Amino acid sequence: MMPAVPALVLLHFLLGFYLLVAVLVLALVGLWGFWRPLSGGFYRFLRGTAWVAILQVALGFALFLAGLRPKDGLHLLYGLLLAAGLHYLGGLEPGGWFYKGLKDPPKRPELFVALGLLFAVGLVLRVYFTGR
Tens-digit pLDDT string for the chain (132 aa): 556 788 999 999 999 999 999 999 999 999 999 999 999 999 999 999 999 999 999 999 999 999 998 989 899 999 999 999 999 999 999 999 999 999 999 999 999 999 999 999 999 999 999 987
pLDDT of residue 132: 72
Sign of CA dihedral 21, 113, 55, 64: positive
Phi-psi sector, 67: left (phi>0), alpha (psi -120 to 50), beta: left
pLDDT of residue 5: 81
Cα 113 from Cα 91, distance rounded (Å): 10
pTM: 0.92
**Domain extent listing, the chain:** 5-131
Cα 55 from Cα 8, distance rounded (Å): 12
